[in-house]
Amino acid sequence: MLDLRLLRSDPEGVQGRLRRRDPTVDLAPIVALDEERRLLAGTADDLRRRQNEASERIAILSKEGRQGEVDRLREEMRAVASERKRVEVRLQEVERELDSLLLSLPNVPHDSVPDGTKEEKVILRTFGEKPVFPFLPKHHVALAQALGLLDLERAAKVTGARFPMYTGDGARLELALLHWMMEFHVREHGYTPVLPPILANRASFVTSGQFPKFASEVYACPEDDLFLNPTAEALLVNLHRDEVLAEEDLPRKYVAYTPCFRREAGTYGEEGRGLIRVHQFNKVELFHYTTPETSYAALEEIVSHAEAILQRLGLHYRIALLPAGDLAQQSAKTIDVEVWLPGQDRYYEVSSCSNCEDYQARRGNIRYRPADGGKPRFVHTLNGSALATSRLFAAVLEQNQQADGTVVLPPLLADLLGQRTLRTS
């Protein structure tokens, strides 16, 4: 949520910055509602004051036996009470409308974020070289099914399309990746591990920014008003909701494993095949709570931690800065880590690392008390996958495939699984 005082003081400036990501943003209704809200609140306060003063006056007049004046004043106050009720009802309506509009606004892009849409992202750097094959590289689905690592047909029978089922060495590889990444971030980068609930309540999704705008994209349990986690960010941002942290305790750095669930409505052609765009996937998520002054250094740190996973696995990837038109609702700046899939001759995002600044903190009332005193300030929140395993799994297979259809595992994974090669049994 944006700072209403900022919208009030510079509506044209904020609207111009928001239109970098959405040309249709119009702050005029918000400014008008805010002005009406303040006028109504002032009127309600004035009417309340008049009632209080009249009550004191009536008490004095009653003691003096001046019943006629008491009756006239009470009649006048009945009209005041009726007017106050009307004003307060409208005030509640205006506050609900204003809150709804404020919750629908996206975050303001950081000045370093370029203009443009998805196709105009900026490639910042690459790691390693694209693997070269003396044969036509296969798609990960062909490799996985031939090696008995995935059973997509039985997964569809059990649940439906675009839900994966890992089998045999595929299940072992998936679990090995998840366990190793969790341990790596705890031991190497000092994160506190968390295994959060998979379900979250409505307030949690409002804080994270998924609600109200993207409620239709989340799997719901309506009888309980609970929702399946689409990303651990939505859970971790609520760890300190309605809390005031000490500056000395920042940054707070958490790593969590969760299965993630997304409707992903629509058809995506090649992206809907295999592990690229699925309704359920596994992910290790990094999350930071920081001061405003340190949040952009923290963003670079999260990106480096996501990169470290791919570097340890020897996978070719690139780093991309997203333009304003491709930012998530809550993000002020996002840097993607994209891994190369030779079977599809393209890069796919395996991690989005975002600084949400104080957008989520305002929605969740998450603050810290400065070490040198003063009023509590809102924290900055940051998140990044490190990593999502579905596309990582695909990259391991596609970048390490051999001409005979086997996959030679990177040394780290070979040690974890106790075998050098994935092959048909």
Catalytic positions, please?
262, 277, 349, 352, 391
**Helix axis angle, 389-399 relative to 169-189, nearest 10°?**
110
CB atoms within 10 A of CB 302: 24
d(CA 153, CA 371): 57
Q: Which of 387, 394, 289 is nearest to 342 (CA)?
A: 394
- Three-state SS at 35: helix
Specify whether the backbone of 162 is left (phi greater than 0), alpha (psi in -120 to 50) or beta: left
Q: What is the residue type of 143?
A: L
Residues facing residue 340 across a β-bridge: 347
Q: Which residue type sits at 131?
A: P
- Residues making up the chain, counted from first to last: 425
The DSSP annotation for 154-221 comes to HHHHHT-TT---B-THHHHHHHHHHHHHHHHHHHHH-PEEE---SEEEHHHHHHHT-TTTTGGGS-EE
The token pair that represents 6 in the structure block:
């900022």
Contact between residue 394 and residue 166 where contact means Cβ atoms under 8 Å apart: no
